[in-house]
């Protein structure tokens, strides 16, 4: 019996009289005890109980904080936080954090810490601050996330030093929590210090924090990053935040920006939130426009030197592009109107234009995933030629009518081969081994230096570990939490794309709907 089951057996001895949702809670416990239920089913059960504001619900949801699957644990944290239940928060404190046996279960403690912060009870501040000294990294990160959810400004003085912690995940989590709390004066020293971090992911998070907290004193450091940061992705993000925060449209080099700032810094006032939101939306829809060292794929520009292209080759990619007049208006001419042939032509043009400084790779996916190389490769003339030849040979997977048979649930080798395994493709792109069980919610650094992904697809997932786009998006957020990878999505489907738009926006990327 695991610890959560033991806790449930103990609290079952105590009545929850008057709880009108007791029947729902009882059904949840019964359902969750069935080992045959899939992660998707368990997550759905958690979401069903979410919003049940009772002690019994809090106690029952504790089960899911020990689930092997992150998507279930994350749903449980959100469900617990949504209860805003003081009695439940005190029960979690007494029965988990202060209990000698339960407190040894680091996964449970980490989940409880984050959930308790979201429950918004002032008395949890002290216990969460105590957990910042815990020896286990997962618990410390849970406590930091909990403090961010609690939104108590008293936590800022304890979070500020963590923004320069030697462990990048701690620094990134601390910056996230400070942004969530929203006390800009208290957070500013941490953000400015993190802009100078040796870790690229920490610098990227700090750049984002300058925008979120509207820090005027962050503008000069961002200007200096345009030419002086060693990584093009960092200077790219600095440029986008500068244009968003200042509403100015200078080039992507330091001199013009610095000349303007030296003249205007003392009198300059931050634009109002509405104007910043409009500028941010414009950047999210169109991407940055750079004056030098740019690479372009499907009109999305990047200065990154570490790029991965992920291309859907499922059976539906054999269908024709649905709006040829739109293509004609764009001024583009293609040898074929087949979706995949158009994509291949665009991708080959992009690959052949990559500067030698770029590391790149290409992944094709349908039911399974196939990579051009095992890791990113320098874009020299030989590599670009070989990659272009590899792309030219790509064909839609599955036999004739495979997409229809797959949609109808008919099992045949060709139908299976041509389906869309979005989950596997994205996890592979991020360097995650899908078949290996992970005991932690937190992910180690990837083997490849990839920091920018172009993900091209034409439809919703139809096969894989999960086909639920909510779950897929949650997993991508988990994997990308401490990496700062920019995920652009090019959608060539006939309709829909809302979830893919969210996928791009949640990961700092641009969403482009080319049309079906």
The enclosing domain of 490 has a CATH number of: 3.40.50.410
Q: What is the pLDDT of residues 269-320, one digit of tens each?
A: 998 888 888 887 777 666 665 555 468 887 888 999 999 999 999 998 988 8
- Domain of 266, CATH number, reads 1.25.40
Average pLDDT over residues 72-98: 93
Domain that holds residue 358: 295-513
pLDDT tops 80 at residue 243 = yes
Contact in structure between 174 and 202 (CB atoms under 8 Å): no
Average pLDDT over residues 212-239: 95
Residue 494 φ then ψ, to 5°: -75, -25
Q: Are residues 325 and 260 in the same domain?
A: no
DSSP 89-108: HHHHIIIIIS-TTGGG-HHH
Q: Which two tokens stand for residue 105?
A: 């279960």
Q: What is the pLDDT of residues 169-203, one digit of tens each?
A: 999 999 999 999 999 999 999 999 999 999 999 99
Domains identified in the chain, total number? 3
Q: What is the reported pTM?
A: 0.86
pLDDT tops 70 at residue 20 = no
Q: Are residues 52 and 71 in the same domain?
A: yes
Contact in structure between 295 and 259 (CB atoms under 8 Å): no
The reply to whether 160 falls in a domain is: no
Q: Are residues 367 and 506 in the same domain?
A: yes
pLDDT tops 60 at residue 401 = no
Q: Are residues 255 and 391 in the same domain?
A: no
Residue with tokens 């019994």: 56
Q: Are residues 26 and 2 in the same domain?
A: yes
Which residues, including other chains, have CB under 8 Å from residue 481's CB and lie 6 or more apart? Answer: 169, 172, 442, 443
Q: Are residues 219 and 107 in the same domain?
A: no
Q: Are residues 80 and 210 in the same domain?
A: no
DSSP 123-152: GGHHHHHHHTT-S-HHHHHHHHHHHHHHT-
Contact in structure between 358 and 448 (CB atoms under 8 Å): no
CA distance 357 to 470: 36
The reply to whether 158 falls in a domain is: no
Quick one: pLDDT at residue 392?
95
Q: Are residues 275 and 288 in the same domain?
A: yes
Task: Classify burial at 374, counting beta carbons within 10 Å of its beta carbon; exposed 0-12, middle 13-18, buried 19 or more.
Answer: exposed
Contact in structure between 238 and 251 (CB atoms under 8 Å): no
Q: Are residues 106 and 69 in the same domain?
A: yes
| Alpha-carbon distances of 423 from 307, 398, 428, 464, rounded to whole Å | 19, 19, 8, 6
Quick one: pLDDT at residue 51?
81
Average pLDDT over residues 308-334: 78
Q: What is the 8-class DSSP label of residue 418?
A: T
Q: How confident is the model at residue 80 (pLDDT cuts 50, 70, 90)?
A: very high
Quick one: pLDDT at residue 182?
97
CA 236 to chain centre: 19
Q: Which two tokens stand for residue 478?
A: 């988990």
For 35-39, 213-217, 392-396, which range has the lowest pLDDT when averaged over its residues?
35-39
More confident residue, 511 or 18: 511
pLDDT tops 50 at residue 250 = yes
pLDDT tops 50 at residue 403 = no
- Domain boundary (245, 267, 292) is at 292
Quick one: pLDDT at residue 330?
59
CA distance 342 to 28: 49
CA distance 399 to 414: 5
């Amino acid at each position: 019996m695991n610890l959560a089951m033991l806790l449930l057996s103990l609290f079952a001895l105590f009545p929850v009289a008057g709880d009108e949702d007791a029947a729902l809670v009882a059904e949840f416990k019964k359902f969750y005890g069935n080992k045959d239920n899939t992660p998707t089913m368990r997550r759905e059960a958690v979401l069903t109980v979410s919003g049940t504001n009772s002690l019994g619900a809090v106690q029952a949801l504790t089960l899911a904080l020990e689930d092997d699957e992150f998507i279930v644990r994350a749903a449980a944290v959100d469900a617990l936080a949504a209860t805003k239940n003081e009695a439940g928060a005190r029960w979690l404190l007494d029965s988990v954090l202060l209990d000698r046996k339960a407190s040894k279960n680091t996964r449970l403690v980490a989940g409880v810490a984050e959930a308790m912060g979201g429950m918004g009870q002032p008395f949890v501040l002290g216990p969460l601050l105590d957990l910042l000294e815990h020896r286990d990294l997962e618990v410390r990160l849970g406590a930091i996330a909990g403090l961010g959810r609690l939104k108590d400004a008293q936590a800022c003085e304890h979070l500020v030093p963590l923004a320069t912690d030697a462990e990048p995940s701690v620094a990134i989590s601390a910056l996230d929590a400070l942004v969530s709390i929203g006390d800009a004066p208290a957070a500013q020293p941490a953000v400015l210090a993190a802009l100078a971090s040796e870790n690229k992911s920490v610098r990227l998070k700090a750049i984002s924090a300058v925008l979120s907290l509207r820090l005027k004193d962050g503008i000069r450091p961002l200007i200096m990053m345009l030419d002086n940061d060693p990584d093009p992705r960092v200077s790219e993000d600095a440029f986008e935040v500068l244009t968003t925060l200042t509403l100015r449209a200078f080039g992507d080099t330091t001199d013009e920006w610095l000349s303007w700032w030296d003249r205007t810094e003392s009198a300059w006032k931050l634009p109002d939130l509405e104007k910043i939101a409009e500028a941010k939306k414009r950047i999210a829809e169109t991407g940055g426009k750079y004056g030098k060292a740019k690479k372009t794929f499907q009109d999305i520009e990047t200065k990154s030197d570490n790029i991965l292209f992920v291309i859907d080759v499922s059976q539906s990619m054999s269908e024709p592009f649905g709006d040829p007049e739109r293509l004609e208006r764009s001024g583009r001419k293609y040898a074929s109107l087949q979706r995949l042939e158009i994509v291949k032509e665009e991708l080959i043009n992009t690959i052949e234009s990559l500067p030698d400084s770029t590391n790149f790779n290409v992944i094709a996916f349908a039911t399974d995933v196939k990579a051009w190389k095992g890791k990113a490769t320098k874009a020299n003339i030989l590599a670009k030629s070989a990659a272009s030849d590899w792309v030219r040979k790509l064909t839609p997977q599955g036999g004739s009518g495979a997409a229809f048979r797959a949609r109808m649930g008919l099992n045949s080798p060709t139908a299976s081969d041509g389906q869309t395994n979005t989950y596997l493709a994205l996890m592979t792109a991020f360097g995650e081994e899908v078949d290996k069980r992970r005991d932690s919610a937190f992910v180690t650094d990837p083997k490849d230096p990839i920091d920018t992904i172009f993900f091209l697809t034409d439809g919703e997932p139809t096969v894989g570990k999960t086909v639920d786009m909510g779950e897929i998006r949650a997993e991508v957020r988990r994997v990308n939490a401490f990496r700062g990878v920019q995920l652009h999505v090019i959608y060539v489907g006939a309709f829909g794309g809302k979830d893919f738009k969210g996928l791009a926006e949640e990961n700092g990327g641009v969403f482009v709907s080319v049309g079906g």
